[in-house]
Amino acid sequence: MPKTPSEILSAIAAKLGLDRVGSAGGDLDVTSPIDGKTLARLPSSSTDAVAAAVERVETAFRAWRRVPAPQRGALVRVFGEVLRERKQELGTLVSLETGKILTEGLGEVQEMIDICDFAVGLSRQLYGLTIASERPGHRMMETWHPLGVCAILTAFNFPVAVWSWNAAIALVCGNALVWKPSEKAPLTALACRHLLDEAAARVGGVPEHLCEIVIGGPQIGAALAQHPKIPLVSATGSCRMGRAVAPLVAGRFGRTLLELGGNNAMIVAPSADLDLAVRAILFAAVGTAGQRCTSLRRLIVHRSIERKLVDRLVAAYGSVPVGDPLAEGTLVGPLIDKRAFTAMQAALEAAKAEGGTVHGGARVLAERHPDAYYVTPALVRMPQQTEIVRAETFAPILYVMPYDSLDEAIRVHNDVPQGLASSIFTTDLREAERFMSAEGSDCGIVNVNIGPSGAEIGGAFGGEKETGGGRESGSDAWKAYMRRATNTINYSNELPLAQGVKFEVG
């Protein structure tokens, strides 16, 4: 008899510090999308509790900023070791709380480990420039300092990886953290804090309250966004959330790092390797039940190969195993909740009304799991890019549209409000280079011959337009978590002024 999500949670709870979580009860019902049943009940944080948490974290920051960056890196290194030890349990919890298939739950923890490795190296590379001064006997340089308390708001669909992208880097930069996880996935957050505490205990000398968690929905997020002692709010979620959070932070001249919705496309050109393209499309459009910010949502296919590609995709879609995400062989788990299912069905109805032909998209396993929402992935042929195609529906819907010229394909590609991830399948070098050029894709992630999803941590991650402009993870994303001071040092006996200005008394 297979175990229920709540039985599986009981078996791994102690290793994640969750054995007593939920026993006190609370107003927040945490359910598993696998069966729709309650995993735990947690109390939401009050606004006073948020303020008190920020005070504690600020005190921790004052101590942490004095610790040399390579020593801060030691905490992150040991955190990475703890994650390696608990990868199986934490990955399983990700699957229980979000409905991801196990390999993706484990992959998320691997991403945490990878960012820890990256951040440890970074802890010895927080470089500033040395700049030539125009004044004799002077030197200029940049120094990078931590910002202070950083608030991290996370979405349900990457409940641990996105936090770790922010946390690992913000910590080596010398910041302290308040984390508001999604109200749909707070258990993974509590587990991460337990594992970070364990790493801190092994390392020693780490101030208490370096990372606090506050539990709740938009109100708690808004309280953090408005808090005057939080210089940076890093917020991941829908464009709707970004539209609410950004003005609150801007109103007090705080900084935001926004990682919002995507509406990611792939152009498939006549020269494309279709075998590779079909595999890439399946993973990007169907994987994670279409609930990645980088999920493939729009397929722009050259008219000469559209019929052939659609036939292959319809056949492949028909054989994708949908079901228990912890069972061997399943490729598509459940949607997060009923709301996601309703939004998916409404989008399919709108697509039909706008001229689309829908394959798939129906609810399955409803008798076995009346409170959970499993669907077959949907493929929708559209005559052109209509309003519903231009919106992000967080579900496995792939709209397919034909094109005749690359100019037209790029225009359609960029004609959406979001600008996260993009890709082209072509073996024509000119087309590939054009897509990556200034007149090509307008997204933050631009790929050739791989799908738009599944980024590695080494590159900067994020997107343009309504995706919010933030960059996290690799490259020089660390600069978002620090403030830059420009230093001018006079080692001469004179006081020359810049620009030749004379200012002498008498």
Q: Give the interface segment with ligand NAD, choosing from 39-47, 180-188, 327-335, 371-379 (CB under 6 A).
A: 180-188
Burial class of residue 160, CB neighbours in 10 A (0-12, 13-18, 19+): buried
Q: Which is nearer to ligand NAD, 34 or 293 (CB)?
A: 293
Residue 425 near residue 280, CB atoms below 8 Å = yes
**Residues in the chain, how many?**
506
Q: Which is nearest to 99 in space by CA: 299, 313, 365, 361?
A: 365
Q: Where are the beta strands (DSSP E) in 32-114?
A: 38-42
433 counts as catalytic: no
Q: Applying CB under 6 A, which part among 12-20, 151-159, 190-198, 202-210 lies near ligand NAD?
A: 151-159
CB of 469 to ligand NAD, least distance (A): 10
CB 92, min distance to ligand NAD, A: 21
Site for ligand NAD in 356-415 (CB under 6 A): 392, 394
CA distance 235 to 254: 13
State the minimum distance, in angstroms, from the CB of residue 183 to ligand NAD.
Answer: 5
**Nearest alpha carbon to residue 282 among 232, 337, 332:** 332
> 142 vs 456, which CB is nearer to ligand NAD?
456
Q: Is residue 484 packed enough to be buried (19+ CB in 10 Å), middle (13-18) or exposed (0-12)?
A: exposed
Neighbours of 349 (CB within 10 A): 13
Interatomic CA distance for residues 266 and 296, integer angstroms: 7
Residue ranges in 223-282 that form contacts with ligand NAD under rule CB under 6 A:
236-238, 241, 244-245, 259-262
In angstroms, the CA 104 to CA 157 distance is 11
Q: How far is the CB of 240 from ligand NAD (least distance, A)?
A: 6
Minimum CB distance to ligand NAD, residue 300 (Å): 20
Should residue 114 be labelled a site residue for ligand NAD when binding is judged by CB under 6 A?
Answer: no
Residue tagged active-site, from 111, 293, 443, 472: 293
Return the H-helix or E-strand segment holding 112: helix 102-122
**Which of residues 5 and 159 has its CB atom nearest to ligand NAD in the complex?**
159
For residues 389 and 382, the answer to whether their CB atoms sit within 8 Å is yes
Q: 413-452: which residues touch ligand NAD (CB under 6 A)?
A: 420
> Taking the complex as a whole, how short is the minimal distance between the CB of residue 248 and ligand NAD, in angstroms?
8
Q: Does 222 bind ligand NAD (CB under 6 A)?
A: yes
Number of residues this chain uses to bind ligand NAD (CB under 6 A): 29
Q: Shortest distance, CB of residue 486 to ligand NAD, whole angstroms?
A: 31
Nearer to ligand NAD, 136 or 217 (CB): 217
Residue 155 within binding range of ligand NAD, rule CB under 6 A: yes
Give 471's contacts (C-beta < 8 A, 6+ positions apart): 257, 444, 460, 461, 462, 477, 480
Kindly state the tokens that stand for 406.
């690359």
Q: Using CB under 6 A, pick the residue from 45, 92, 157, 393 that binds ligand NAD.
A: 157
In eight-state DSSP terms, residue 463 is: -
The residue from 259, 392, 431, 466 that is catalytic is 259
Reply yes or no on whether 472 is catalytic. no
Which residues are identified as catalytic? Answer: 259, 293
Binding site for ligand NAD (CB under 6 A): 153-158, 162, 180, 182-183, 217-218, 221-222, 236-238, 241, 244-245, 259-262, 293, 392, 394, 420, 467
